[in-house]
Amino acid sequence: NAGVTQTPKFRVLKTGQSMTLLCAQDMNHEYMYWYRQDPGMGLRLIHYSVGEGTTAKGEVPDGYNVSRLKKQNFLLGLESAAPSQTSVYFCASSYRDVAYEQYFGPGTRLTVT
Amino acid sequence: AQSVTQLDSHVSVSEGTPVLLRCNYSSSYSPSLFWYVQHPNKGLQLLLKYTSAATLVKGINGFEAEFKKSETSFHLTKPSAHMSDAAEYFCVVKNYGGSQGNLIFGKGTKLSVKP
């Protein structure tokens, strides 16, 4: 039981490049989330999904897109990376809504130069 | 609207002494409150949660938190700090007024434990 895994662990992009972050969970959870963590800011929700085929915007969605084609996977895309998107990205999942424990992946450290 | 304020960005204690990490909340509803811990270069892990049952909530690793409605506080405590407790701690509230998926995180308190 791997829990929540994220790929890749580290990435460096140039401004304007695109990339996709992959999150996978093996707990059959309905809800999945993408957060970004910046120093002194706590975690901020980018997008989330309440089930396969559904996505919704969180607090800071601009510049990101997501897809949930399979229940176990949640992809985060950056279409044209900007230095302001330099951050650590965390994926999480929960059985149902946010009142349930969220299980976090180990994070992806992204640097945009 | 809901919000949380962690009153200290950094707390330093000696091993074996008590830990107190302070959190105040603001909520228009009966709140759901959580404490999460993040060890260096790791994801977050749930320590404990309050969802309107007992006001004293016990969590993992000897931590507990007390919900005080009159003071709008949800402080995290531990009687005796261990070196392995050194981490960043986040107080979190469920956002009822926003989207379904929304937790609101405090800015974090970094706990240092001196030998």
Average pLDDT, chain B: 91
Instruction: Give chain B's largest Cα–Cα span.
Output: 44
Chain B residues with CB-CB distance to A49 below 8 A: 101
Residue type, A35: Y
Tokens of A98: 């946010």
Task: Please give the pLDDT value at position B31.
Answer: 86
How many interface pairs between A and B have CB atoms less than 8 angstroms apart? Answer: 67
Q: Which of B57, B46, B87 is nearest to A93 (CA)?
A: B46
Whether the CB-CB separation of A109 and A9 falls below 8 Å is answered with yes
A89 and B CB contact within 8 Å: no
CB nearest B101 (choices: A31, A90, A106): A31
Higher pLDDT, B96 or A88: A88
| Start-to-end C-alpha separation, chain A | 36
Task: Please give the pLDDT value at position A96.
Answer: 84
Q: What is the DSSP letter of B100?
A: T
Distance from CA of B101 to the nearest CA of A (A): 6
Task: Please give the pLDDT value at position B98.
Answer: 55
Tokens of B23: 């959190």
Q: For chain A, what percent of residues have pLDDT higher than 70?
A: 99
Task: Please give the pLDDT value at position A98.
Answer: 67
Task: Please give the pLDDT value at position B14.
Answer: 98
Distance from CA of A105 to the nearest CA of B (A): 5
Task: Please give the pLDDT value at position B101.
Answer: 56
Those of residues 2-41 in A touching chain B at CB distance below 8 A are 4, 31, 33, 40-41
- The band of B108, judged by pLDDT with boundaries at 50, 70 and 90, is very high
The residue among A27, A45, A48, A96 with the most chain B CBs within 10 A of its CB, best to mutate, is A45
Task: Please give the pLDDT value at position B97.
Answer: 59
CB nearest A104 (choices: B43, B94, B102): B43
Task: Please give the pLDDT value at position B4.
Answer: 93
pLDDT for B59 beyond 80: yes
Task: Please give the pLDDT value at position A25.
Answer: 97
pLDDT for B100 beyond 60: no
Task: Give me the residues of chain A with pLDDT under 50, please.
Answer: none
B1-52: pLDDT as tens digits: 788 999 999 999 999 999 999 999 998 777 889 999 999 888 899 999 998 7
CB nearest A90 (choices: B43, B51, B108): B43
Residues of B near A (Cβ–Cβ under 8 Å) read: 9, 32, 41-46, 49, 51, 90, 94-95, 99-103, 105-108
